[in-house]
Structure 1
Amino acid sequence: MDKEKLAIYGGQPVRDHFLPYGKQVINEDDIHSVIKVLSSDFITTGPTLERFEREIAEYTGAKYAVAFSSGTAALHGACFAAGIGKGDEVITTPMTFAATSNCVLYQGGIPVFVDIDPKTYNINPSQIKEKITKKTKAIIPVHFTGQPAALEELLEIAKENNLIMIEDAAHALGAKYKNKKIGSIGDMTMFSFHPVKHITTGEGGMITTNNEDYYQKLIQFRSHGIVRAKHLLKENHGPWYYEMHSLGFNYRMTDIQASLGISQLKKLDSFIARRKQISRFYTHELASLKDLTLPYQDKNGDSSWHLYIIKLKSRNLNANRKFIFEALQKENIGVNVHYVPVYYHPYYESLGYKKGSCPVTESCYEEFITLPLHAGMSDQDAKDVVNAVKKVLNYFSKSRL
């Protein structure tokens, strides 16, 4: 970083300790729930996991829920259950973490990237139809930042073209689309319980579905493709007998993790309410900064506010985003950028994907900065973020370095 640009920050930063962009909120109830399981007969997949699955299904309004060791594992399971195989094309967005499309590759499928809506930053339904071919098997929309994608339009496209819809809702547990909880709308929906998400199990993920066939396939897939139910066995050698019906993986979640998830789920609505409160504060306090575009909220969706992203509008700010990013970090504000477009990664370049295919995504990537947002933030933390943003942008607009 050019030392001249940061010279002004030789003085006191707005805060004396670092504020991460995302962080888990763990209390004594959570700790006690884990200790209770550690003292029980089951610490791997057992009754606590089954309870966690039931409670997630009830919360989202889905018939079934299947827990996995991570959100990535869960999405891989959904691609398997959907029957995605070699040469099948799956339409998704490049404005996501690489896991979304990697799971298609795991199954031998081909990710097809469609650009995003410039307001919501979600996949643009109007551009999907031109990407559909005879090889298209599914659509994976991402509810980016917690704001639901345009599900009504997406479901219509899926139905017209006999496509399976797998929602990547890693950001959207607790979000609603037209007053209906995310998790009960598409064919399958994936949630993540990574520590920066709304609730955590350490690592972990979940697929919700209303389809019993998908449910059975997901159960098999997370445990080596093995079945034990008598009515599914091709032979039955006795009560010990089991069969491997497909090539599955060991993607199981433990009861230890599930116990934490159950405890966290009790606080989910309060966590989301706090995220919304902080987001409203940001919007109110930053609205006067004309060089910023603040998050747009679609009237059909109720965001769960996983991320709060500001967009640098002016050419001068865009050209110096790295400076602004590093200056904010020097103020002890843990900003981030979500996301590097998936096809920018060298591995995807090696598969033949090229820059320039999704210009809105690429433009947004060059302009985005993610501000800290999590339920454990205090009012002072939020004020520090706002003060730092104003300080850095004010300095930059005057200095024109």
Structure 2
Amino acid sequence: MIPYGRQSVDQADIDAVVAVLQSDWLTQGPTIERFEQAMARRCEAAHAVAVCNATAALHIACLAAGLGPGDRLWTSPNTFLASANCGRYCGAEVDFVDIDPLTWNLDANALRLKLVVAESNGTLPKVVVAVAFAGQSCDMQAIAELSERYGFTLIEDASHAVGASYAGRPVGCGEFAAMTVFSFHPVKIITSAEGGMVLTNRPELAERMQRLRSHGMTRDPTQMTEHSHGPWYYQQVELGFNYRITDLQAALGLSQLDKLDGFIARRRELVARYDRLLAGLPLTLPSIQPGAESAWHLYVVRLQRARITPSHRQVFEALREAGVGVNLHYIPVHLQPYYRDLGFADGDFPEAERYYAEAISLPMYPGLSDEQQDYVVEQLRRIIS
């Protein structure tokens, strides 16, 4: 089976993890800070806060933005559950904005229209989570302008977009988003096994997220309610969580970061080959907006169903039967039973629902060989022709 994605781990990565195992610090040690600093430099950001996974990163980013009961979070329906669930963790209401028919990202124009209505009826969002689907940013400049006008905090869920750029700068630089979230899950661009990170240029947000990931504790005398009792002393000043990453994970992530440029280069080679090999088939291929450079976490095609005899499901299952481990990103979040119970229904976000009825994620990872990719294309061509 050729998987849709997988990690690329070499001996340097293994050696980095072993070095930490042989050190004095397995967790809460110096490797975490080195990983944070390296990511911040790479992304041209002032601060980075590493946590156990990107879901935790989204949660503490929302809390740092002040999201709570009575507030609203808006995001794309074409995303993983965590982009919406982070709002529910904070007790906020969640709503969605339909996707752009070309990029399959949250549609900035649809957001603009929805904000006009929300302003008139007093239901403006406190947070908008703009998801960099498949590796390219949304129209972040347009969304940032709306953020200024309507007063919401803009968080970019760039879990797919480590190494991508937008408007000539690295994703994560903070030019448009108050906070940017990365994922280091094994199928992502680089991995720390499990892990996530929030980048920001605002020191007060970084300070709060550092505290939230460690039980709401502080040893900083300036944050305490009374004088220290001694060198052992700490205070819990708010309700936090155990969202810490380990030094083992940080060592793997730091080692992987050294290979990021090579990973991205190979992904772009594979994209160019897919584009060439799939040309002329009854498929809609990915589209990149001007000014964006995708990290290509995913390569998604859409079946032009009027030109294809097999159904969407038949094509998907035939590829799996042929040993091609395709996947589907994503089931629209508003159609999940949990969100249906909150009042969402079929037809609420028609562009996302049309996308779901046609999309298939093809294998995309640096270790995918040209021969394997040729086989993927050969099988897809056979099934849909």
> If the TM-score is normalised by the length of the shorter chain, which range does it land in?
over 0.9
User: Aligned to 1:90, which of 67, 73, 76?
Assistant: 73
Paired position in structure 2 for 1:249: 241
C-alpha contact 2:214 2:242 (8 A) present in aligned 1: yes
Deviates more, 1:345-354 or 1:364-373: 345-354
Paired position in structure 1 for 2:100: 117
Paired-residue identity, %: 44
Output the amino acid matched with 2:265.
A
Gaps of 5+ in 1: 1-17, 395-401
Q: Render the CA deviation track for 1:156-205: whole Å, top value 9, x for unaligned.
A: 00011111100000000111111111001310000000000000011100
Separation in 2 of the partners of 1:87 and 1:231?
Answer: 31
Over 3 Å counting, the alpha-carbon distance change for 1:240 and 1:37 in structure 2 is same
Paired position in structure 2 for 1:367: 358
Residue 130 of structure 1 deviates from its aligned partner by 3.5
Separation in 1 of the partners of 2:340 and 2:307?
Answer: 30
Runs (4+) of structure 1 moved beyond 6 Å? Answer: none
Paired position in structure 1 for 2:216: 225
Residue 317 of structure 1 deviates from its aligned partner by 3.3
State yes or no: 1:105 paired with 2:88.
yes
State yes or no: 1:342 paired with 2:327.
no
User: Aligned to 1:144, which of 128, 133, 138?
Assistant: 133
TM-score normalised to structure 2 length: 0.96
C-alpha contact 1:138 1:166 (8 A) present in aligned 2: yes
Paired position in structure 1 for 2:37: 54
User: Aligned to 1:330, which of 305, 321, 324?
Assistant: 321
Output the amino acid matched with 1:103.
C
- The 3-state SS of whatever aligns with 2:18 is helix
1:6-25 superposed matches below 5 A = 18-25=1-8
User: Aligned to 2:166, which of 168, 177, 182?
Assistant: 177
C-alpha contact 1:193 1:200 (8 A) present in aligned 2: yes
TM-score normalised to structure 1 length: 0.92
Q: Render the CA deviation track for 1:246-267: whole Å, top value 9, x for unaligned.
A: 1110000000000000100000
C-alpha contact 2:310 2:384 (8 A) present in aligned 1: no
C-alpha contact 2:305 2:358 (8 A) present in aligned 1: no
- The 3-state SS of whatever aligns with 2:131 is coil
Deviates more, 1:37-46 or 1:133-142: 133-142
C-alpha contact 2:305 2:311 (8 A) present in aligned 1: no
Paired position in structure 1 for 2:207: 216
C-alpha contact 1:276 1:305 (8 A) present in aligned 2: yes
Paired position in structure 2 for 1:356: 347
Paired position in structure 2 for 1:4: none
C-alpha contact 2:5 2:363 (8 A) present in aligned 1: yes
Paired position in structure 1 for 2:23: 40
User: Aligned to 2:251, which of 250, 256, 259?
Assistant: 259
C-alpha contact 1:115 1:359 (8 A) present in aligned 2: yes
Separation in 2 of the partners of 1:279 and 1:262?
Answer: 26
Q: Render the CA deviation track for 1:270-310: whole Å, top value 9, x for unaligned.
A: 00110010011000010121x11101111110000000011
Over the residues paired in the alignment, what is the CA RMSD in angstroms? 1.1
Residue 359 of structure 1 deviates from its aligned partner by 0.3
C-alpha contact 1:115 1:124 (8 A) present in aligned 2: yes
User: Aligned to 1:321, which of 312, 319, 341?
Assistant: 312
Deviates more, 1:126-135 or 1:41-50: 126-135
Q: Render the CA deviation track for 1:311-358: whole Å, top value 9, x for unaligned.
A: 011336387011111111111111011100001111111111222111
Paired position in structure 1 for 2:267: 275
Work out the number of aligned pairs and report it. 376
User: Aligned to 1:240, which of 232, 251, 260?
Assistant: 232
Output the amino acid matched with 1:271.
F
Gaps of 5+ in 2: none
Paired position in structure 2 for 1:12: none
C-alpha contact 1:112 1:131 (8 A) present in aligned 2: no
Output the amino acid matched with 2:152.
L
C-alpha contact 1:318 1:366 (8 A) present in aligned 2: no
